[in-house]
Amino acid sequence: MVTATGNRGVVYATDDVSTRIEDLQFTLGVGPCVDAVHTGAPVLVADLDEPGDIAVDRWPMFMEGAATAGVRAVFAFPLRIGAISLGTLDLYRDQPGDLDSSQLSAALLAADAAALALLHLDIGRDDTFCDDLAARSTYQLQVHQATGMVQVQLGVRTEQAFLMLRARAFATGRSLVAVAIDVVERRLRFSTEDQ
């Protein structure tokens, strides 16, 4: 799920590999999901080793991390209802290969269904946007809270604070969520030297 201002959250990840794919894109800010949100078009990479004419050179760290996780193909479908962009549906394979016409059709139908489901996600529930790690559902609430804390610590705009968090996660080889938790629990504080 992605808001108009770029806030992201994972509504559901099916397994550890899909969780890793989402964490990579969230931490790095690049990847097929990010491109699908920005372009409003599917991003289909049938073979990570031989991407053909897909411009994956923008995502070298994502490609490396996805390959390490065992991903050989990735497909990102934007979740849209008219002009409203809600996020993406990311699919992956552990073997390279294009989606055949029936698989592509099924993926597009699943993306439409997911978009509709997201519109009604909060109806009748008080805990809709609470993290549920057992279900691999996380809205990265700590990341948003930590972003605000870094923003105050450094006196910078929200976007800059978020970039600082992502840079620290990347530089230390940790997940963005892990770094954010350290900020929220006051084990990590940013200073002007970090800018």
CATH of the domain at 33: 3.30.450.40
- Domain extent at residue 110: 16-119
User: Among residues 119, 152, 175, which one ends one of the domains?
Assistant: 119
Indicate whether 148 and 83 sit together in one domain.
no
Residues 106 and 170 in one domain: no
According to the model, what pLDDT value does residue 136 have? Answer: 43
Whole-model pTM? 0.68
Same-domain check for residues 108 and 25: yes
Q: Are residues 46 and 97 part of one domain?
A: yes
92-123 burial, b at 16+ Cβ within 10 Å, e below that, comes to bbeeeeebeeeeeeebeeebeebbeebeeeee
Is the residue at 2 inside a domain? no
**159: domain CATH number?**
1.10.10
Look at residue 1 and tell me if it is in a domain: no
Q: What pLDDT sits at residue 159?
A: 80
Q: Is residue 62 part of a domain?
A: yes
Q: Is the pLDDT of residue 3 over 60?
A: no
> Do 105 and 161 reside in the same domain of the chain?
no
E strands, the chain, are: 43-45, 73-81, 84-93
- Does a structural domain hold residue 6? no
Is there a single domain that holds both residue 111 and residue 155? Answer: no
Q: How many domains does the chain have?
A: 2
Tell me, yes or no, whether 74 and 145 share the same domain: no
Q: What is the 3-state secondary structure (H, E, C) of 54-94?
A: CCHHHCHHHHHHHHHCCCCEEEEEEEEECCEEEEEEEEEEC
The radius of gyration of the chain's CA atoms, rounded to the nearest angstrom, is: 17
Query: What is the per-residue pLDDT for 131?
Result: 47
Give per-residue pLDDT as tens, 61-97.
999 999 999 999 999 999 888 777 788 889 999 999 9
Q: Are residues 112 and 158 in the same domain?
A: no
What's the mean per-residue pLDDT of the chain? 81
Give the model confidence (pLDDT) of 14-31 as tens digits.
788 988 898 888 888 889
In a domain, 110, yes or no: yes
Spacing of C-alpha 147 from chain mean position:
16
- The percent of residues in the chain predicted with pLDDT above 70, rounded, is 82
Does residue 130 lie within any of the structural domains?
no
My answer on whether 114 and 20 are in the same domain is yes
Residue-level pLDDT at 72: 95
Locate 99 and state its tokens.
Answer: 């989606």
Query: Is pLDDT of 123 > 80?
Result: no
In the prediction, which pLDDT does 140 show? 64
Judged against a pLDDT cut of 80, whether residue 132 lies above it is answered with no
